[in-house]
Amino acid sequence: MLAILVALFVGFALSFFRLLPSGIARLATRISMIAVVVLIGSMGAKIGVDPDLMRNLALFGWQAFVLAVFAVGGSILAVWSLEALGKTKAAEAGLASRADLEQDSELTALANLDRQQGQASGYLLTYLILGAMLLGIAGGYWLMPNTAAERLNGVTDWALYITLWSVGVELGNSKETLRKVVTLGWRVLLVPVGVALGSILGAVLGGLLVHLPFNESAAVGAGFGWYSLSGVLLAQIYTVKLGAIAFLSNVLRELLAVIMIPLLAKKMSPMVIVAPSGATAMDTTLPIVATAAGTQTALIGFVSGVCLSTLVPLLVPFLVKL
């Protein structure tokens, strides 16, 4: 776990203090995409070479579905409960007091840029990841001997470190975005807090139904929809089985968010609308939030997604070790 955190914070520090050559900083997104594809491919190969995992894929799929449903439901309920208790009333008042938010050309441009970039890169990465997973499973099942799993560990380790380093670089390179986001007010952080608590507690409750231990279901819920990272983290530091469940569960969470966001947008508040997305509110589901509920809600979703994405590499290893 220490090496994982070091990789993340080294990337952030190098980028934030402008210690990286500009060319490398600009390539961080592509480096991250390549490393994630390698990660997922190697994880798929580990599944494919393990006959027990292959025999139980249907069971894992059912467990993943239950955890995803409960994590999404828990997120919605937790954020809605915060509103019911009056804690988010202050947040709404703060946002309302900025009646010029929609007219602020810089903030609107920021939201539009994030929306466009999230849609283009997010969909491409989703296709690449799913393709890498399927190819990895097929290659592991039909082409690799059982002993290949040991050799794959080194590849996965280095790809994981490179991925987290790249994520850190991207976060450190987002000073302007973070500065703009601060103008929304600190109370908007109640959204990621509610989503985090609801996801983890909901997944734990779902885990009871599918006979998963507390630490395992909590760690899966703490993926917050970031399937590529949470799945690989758990496969590396815990078991390939739980990594597979986490991957599938968080993929399903994203699909559930795509379905639910337009429905929630008809009756619910901006805070609740972004809850199903989890970490993906900053990229792949951001266009859906913006289309269904407008720019202001998209900005709330972006803030929540950034916070939750930062928490994933911290919470997943911590919870699974409990």
**Confidence grade of residue 129 (pLDDT, cut at 50, 70, 90):** confident
**284 three-state secondary structure:** coil
196-212 pLDDT, tens digit each: 999 999 999 999 999 99
**145 three-state secondary structure:** coil
Report percent pLDDT > 90 for the chain: 27
Enclosing H/E stretch for 73: helix 57-84
Cα 155 from Cα 315, distance rounded (Å)? 23
**Bigger pLDDT: 233 vs 186:** 233
Q: What is the mean pLDDT of the chain?
A: 80
For residue 170, how many other CB atoms are within 10 A of its CB?
18
Query: Which of 10-24, 56-70, 151-165 shows the lowest per-residue confidence on average (mean pLDDT)?
Result: 151-165
- CA-based angle 263:266:270, to the nearest 5? 95
Does residue 212 contact residue 219 with C-beta atoms inside 8 Å? Answer: no
For 185-203, what is the mean pLDDT?
Answer: 88
Residue tagged 């997943």 (tokens): 316
Predicted pLDDT at 102: 45
- Answer positive or negative: Cα dihedral of 305, 309, 310, 314: positive
Does residue 286 contact residue 305 with C-beta atoms inside 8 Å? Answer: yes
Taking the alpha carbons at both ends of the chain, their separation in whole angstroms is 13
Predicted pLDDT at 219: 97
Query: Which of 118-127, 128-137, 284-293 shows the lowest per-residue confidence on average (mean pLDDT)?
Result: 118-127
Nearest residue to 88 via CA among 183, 184, 185, 191: 191
Predicted pLDDT at 134: 87
Predicted pLDDT at 124: 65
Supply 194's token pair: 């509610």
**Bigger pLDDT: 202 vs 85:** 202
Q: Report pTM.
A: 0.74
Contacts of 154 (CB under 8 A, 6+ apart): none
Report phi then psi at 217, rounded to 5. Answer: -65, -35
Predicted pLDDT at 46: 81
Amino acid identity for residue 211 in this structure: H
Predicted pLDDT at 87: 53
For 127-142, what is the mean pLDDT?
Answer: 85
For 28-50, what is the mean pLDDT?
Answer: 81
Class of domain 2-320: mainly alpha
Report percent pLDDT > 70 for the chain: 81
Residues composing the chain: 322
- HSE-up of residue 262 (Cα within 13 Å, Cβ side): 6
252-310 pLDDT, tens digit each: 898 888 888 888 888 888 889 999 999 988 777 776 787 777 766 777 888 898 889 98
For residue 121, how many other CB atoms are within 10 A of its CB?
16
Query: Which of 13-17, 34-38, 167-171 shows the lowest per-residue confidence on average (mean pLDDT)?
Result: 167-171
**Confidence grade of residue 186 (pLDDT, cut at 50, 70, 90):** low
